[in-house]
């Protein structure tokens, strides 16, 4: 039975959606069953208009808390807001109390992808401050280390770190994920799916 993986993203301006899509494609190429989902919006249309937020992709389903237990592993992808996860992700996590109460996510795998406007705008703190959620749910956090050697290069400005793939959007959102950054996202999708596939196969063989 193939592993079931979800890549769940929140993306206001599209940068995270690009990385999430790359990770999902790479995970799928391993033979895992992969769903691309998005976090529900919590801001009003009025606020979204003021933030010049384009409409959400209607082709990507919105996730609900009850969707999570059906996956063996989940890659969560979301931008930085003040050095931590967007409120839309926190609000979603806050709605998963029944999953916590029943241990429904215990033993499942989790990994994170993020983005920020600036180079030192808080990507690592965003990954780090999301780990308590996984800890409380009993999930197994999967960082990517330096498995993709491109992370070590200093030849160009780039996102990505041992925590996970990322991009730098620039203050006006004008910078798009680079080839290096989408490559790291693909590496993360493949690496993560490889671990989850192995776990699912091992469990089935018990
Ligand atoms: C309210 C708000 C807070 C933000 N805080 C930060 C921040 O602390 N550091 C930073 O570099 N970028 C910050 N940003 C920029 C976002 O991280 C950036 O727009 C996002 O990474 C782009 O991803 P997206 O296109 O997927 O929405 C902030 C943006 C908003 C709207």
Q: State which ligand 1 atom lies nearest to the alpha carbon of 11.
A: 26
What is the structure's pLDDT at 118? 98
Fold for the domain defined by 4-205: Rossmann fold (3.40.50)
Closest CA to 93 of 43, 48, 42, 28: 42
Please give the chain's pLDDT, 206 residues, in tens.
899 999 999 999 999 999 999 999 999 999 999 999 999 999 999 999 999 999 999 999 999 999 999 999 999 999 999 999 999 999 999 999 999 999 999 999 999 999 999 999 999 999 999 999 999 999 999 999 999 999 999 999 999 999 999 999 999 999 999 999 999 999 999 999 999 999 999 999 99
Q: Which atom of ligand 1 lies at the shortest distance from residue 51's CA?
A: 31
Q: Do residues 181 and 167 make contact, with C-beta atoms less than 8 angstroms apart? A: yes
Nearest CA to ligand 1 atom 25: 13
Cβ neighbourhood burial of 132 (10 Å; 0-12, 13-18, 19+):
exposed
CA distance 18 to 178: 10
Residue nearest (by alpha carbon) to ligand 1 atom 7: 82
Query: What is the pLDDT, as a whole number, of residue 100?
Result: 98
Give the span between the Cα atoms of 168 and 42, in whole angstroms: 24
Q: How many of the other CB atoms lie within 10 Å of CB of 76? A: 25
Q: Could you tell me the distance, in angstroms and rounded to a whole number, from the CA of residue 153 to the centre of ligand 1?
A: 24
Which residues approach ligand 1 with their CB closer than 6 A? 11-16, 79-83, 115-118, 121-122, 169, 173
**pLDDT at res. 155:** 97
Instruction: Return all residues near 82 (Cβ < 8 A) that are at least 6 apart.
Output: 122
């Amino acid at each position: 039975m193939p592993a079931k993986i979800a890549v769940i993203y929140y993306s206001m301006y599209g940068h995270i959606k690009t990385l999430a899509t790359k990770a999902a494609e790479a995970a799928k190429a391993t033979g895992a069953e992969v769903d691309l989902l998005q976090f529900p919006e919590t801001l009003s249309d009025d606020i979204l208009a003021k933030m010049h937020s384009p409409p959400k992709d209607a082709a990507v389903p919105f996730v609900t808390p009850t969707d999570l237990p059906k996956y063996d592993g989940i890659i969560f992808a979301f931008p930085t807001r003040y050095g931590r996860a967007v409120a839309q992700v926190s609000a979603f996590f806050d709605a998963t109390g029944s999953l916590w109460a029943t241990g429904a996510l215990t033993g499942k795998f989790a990994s994170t992808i993020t983005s920020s406007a600036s180079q030192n705008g808080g990507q690592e703190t965003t990954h780090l401050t999301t780990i308590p959620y996984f800890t409380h749910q009993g999930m197994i956090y999967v960082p990517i280390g330096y498995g993709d050697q491109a992370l070590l290069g200093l030849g160009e400005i780039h996102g990505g770190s041992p925590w996970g793939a990322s991009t730098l959007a620039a203050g006006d959102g004008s910078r798009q994920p680079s080839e290096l950054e989408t490559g790291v996202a693909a590496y993360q999708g493949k690496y993560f799916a490889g671990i989850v596939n192995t776990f699912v196969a091992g469990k089935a063989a018990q």
